Structure 1
Amino acid sequence: MIKILIVDDSIFSQKINANLIKKFLNKVEIFFANDGQDGFIKYKKIRPDYIFLDLLMPKLNGKELIRLIKNYDKDAKIIVISADVQKNVREEIDTYNILSFINKPFNESKAKCICEMIKDDENE
């Protein structure tokens, strides 16, 4: 069973992301957090195999969450799904060795691609 934590302040985005992931991954358990602060607490408790997160969130933004998670677990597998596509933001995020940066909206073709990457990673 693959455990995935979705951290996004939009409940609508959480549901869309979860439904798309479930469409392409069979054995998956999905957890949710509504902001970066809650996301870090749940990350430590759940220890998900993958974390999908937005950058623009209250309390603790996605960049800070990535920093905290990577300091806690340098091997964390992080996938960013964000509307913030500024070049300097992407360059800063890339320094943390994330798996992928996906521009919103997360749709079926993007979900299929990222789920194939997860399947390949799990089969190694």
Structure 2
Amino acid sequence: MLKILIVDDSNFSQKIISNLLKSFLDNAEFFFASDGREGFSKYKEIKPDYVFVDLLMPNVNGKELIKLIKEYDASCKIIVISADVQKNVREDMESYNIMYFINKPFNQEKAKFICDKMRNDKNE
């Protein structure tokens, strides 16, 4: 069973992301957090296989969360899903060795791409 943590301050985005992923994954359990502080706490508690992170959140933002998680567990697998499409933001995030940077809105095509990559990752 794959454990997937979705960290986004929008409940709507959490539901969209999880529902789209569920349509391509039949062996996933989903966990949710509304900001980076809660996300880091849940990360340490559940040790998810993958973390989907929004960048713009209150309290602890996505970039700070990624730093915290990478310091705690350098091998973690993070996928950023953000509305921020600036090139320098994407390059900054990729410097943290994330798996992918996906632009919002998250849709069926993007979900299929990510799910295929996660399946391949687990089979390697």
Give the structure 1 partner of residue 52 of structure 2.
52
Query: Could you tell me how far 1:86 is from its partner in structure 2?
Result: 1.1
Is there any run of 5+ residues in structure 2 with no aligned partner, and where? none
Instruction: Give the TM-score taking structure 1 as reference length.
Output: 0.99
Q: How many residues get paired?
A: 124
Identity %: 68
What is the rounded CA distance, in whole Å, between the counterparts of 1:85 and 1:47 in structure 2?
29
Q: Distance in 1 between matches of 2:101 and 2:93?
A: 9
Q: State the match for 1:102 in structure 2.
A: 102
Who is 1:82 aligned against? 82
SS in structure 1 opposite 2:97? Answer: coil
Q: Deviations over 1:74-97 (max 9, x none)?
A: 000000000011111111111111
Q: How many Å separate the matches in 2 of 1:81 and 1:92?
A: 14
The residue type equivalent to 1:26 in the other structure is D
Match of 1:8?
8
| Partner residue in 2 for 1:116 | 116
Q: Pairwise CA RMSD of aligned residues?
A: 0.5
Residue-by-residue CA offset, 1:10-60 (whole Å, 9 max, x unaligned)? 000000000001000110000000001100000000000000010000000
Within 2, Cα distance between the matches of 1:82 and 1:22?
A: 20
Give distance in 2, aligned partners of 1:112 and 1:16. 13
Q: CA deviation at 1:108?
A: 0.2
Q: Distance in 2 between matches of 1:93 and 1:99?
A: 10
State the distance in 2 between where 1:85 and 1:69 align.
23
**Quick one: distance in 2 between partners of 1:88 and 1:63?**
13
User: Which deviates the most, 85-94 or 103-112?
Assistant: 85-94
5+ residue gaps, structure 1, are none
